[in-house]
Amino acid sequence: KNEVEQSPQNLTAQEGEFITINCSYSVGISALHWLQQHPGGGIVSLFMLSSGKKKHGRLIATINIQEKHSSLHITASHPRDSAVYICAVTPPQGAQKLVFGQGTRLTINP
C-alpha cells in the first residue's frame, strides 16, 4: 500500500462543476503539498498545508491531521483547470523529501 493515496485517479467533469480530489496518507508529516502539472508542462506548487484550510482564488485545500486526510476543491471549474493534481507529503525530520501520491488526472469539458 502506498504511503500517499489519492482518489479518484481520473475525473472528468463539465465546466462550472465543483471538484473535489482526496488525499490520504499513512505516515507522520510536517506538511502536505498540492501540486499541479499541465500536460507536457512543469510542476507548480499550489498549496503547502500543515493544518486547517487555505484558499487561493477558486482553489481551496483542507487538511485534517487527526484523520490523515486532505482535500483539494475547485469551485466553478474551467477547462484550463484540466491537469494532473498531485498530493505529496514531507516527513517530520530531515531534508523535506517529498513522498508523492499517484496523481489525479482532471479533465474539464466546456
Partner 1 sequence: NAGVTQTPKFRVLKTGQSMTLLCAQDMNHEYMYWYRQDPGMGLRLIHYSVGEGTTAKGEVPDGYNVSRLKKQNFLLGLESAAPSQTSVYFCASSYHRDRGLANYGYTFGSGTRLTVV
Kindly state whether residue 43 participates in binding partner 1, applying the rule CB under 8 A.
Answer: yes
Kindly state whether residue 33 participates in binding partner 1, applying the rule CB under 8 A.
Answer: yes
- Name the CA radius of gyration of the chain, rounded: 13
Kindly state whether residue 45 participates in binding partner 1, applying the rule CB under 8 A.
Answer: yes
Query: 54-83: which residues touch partner 1 (CB under 8 A)?
Result: none
Query: 9-28: which residues touch partner 1 (CB under 8 A)?
Result: none
CA distances from 23 to 55, 73, 94 (A): 17, 11, 23
What residue ranges bind partner 1 (CB under 8 A)? 30-31, 33, 35, 41-45, 48, 86, 90, 95-98, 100, 102-103
